[in-house]
């Protein structure tokens, strides 16, 4: 799941929550996550996901993000399911 929050200073905070299933606690996988910033381009980050659930702060930006793209360019062979952000 991903979440985009507007901060008090006017910037946007982009966060992502990733959960791996059926892997060992010490299993680590690099995954590309992209943030579409419209005319400003695409921000791409390689995140190393380990074990069960990971919460990642991807980006703080003045440009309003359009969307978050998990497993950008299908960089990992996996079955990805998008979930709603839960608190």
| pLDDT tens string 7-50 | 999 999 999 998 888 888 888 889 999 999 999 999 999 999 88
Q: Give mean pLDDT, residues 45-60.
A: 90
Nearest to 34 by CA among 19, 56, 7: 56
pTM of the model: 0.84
Which residues, 6 or more positions from 85, have their beta carbon under 8 angstroms from its beta carbon? 1, 2, 3, 17
**Helix, strand and coil percent figures for the chain, each rounded to 5:** 5, 50, 45
Greatest Cα pair distance, the chain, in angstroms, is 40
What is the Cα Rg of the chain in Å? 13
């Amino acid at each position: 799941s991903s979440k985009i929050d507007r901060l008090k200073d006017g910037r946007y905070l982009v966060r992502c929550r990733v959960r791996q299933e059926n892997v060992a606690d010490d299993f680590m996988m690099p995954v590309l996550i992209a943030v579409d910033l419209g005319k400003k381009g695409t921000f791409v980050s390689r995140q190393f996901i380990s074990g069960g659930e990971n919460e990642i702060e991807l980006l703080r930006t003045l440009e309003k993000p359009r969307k978050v793209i998990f497993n950008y360019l299908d960089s990992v062979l996996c079955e990805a399911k998008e979930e709603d952000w839960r608190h």
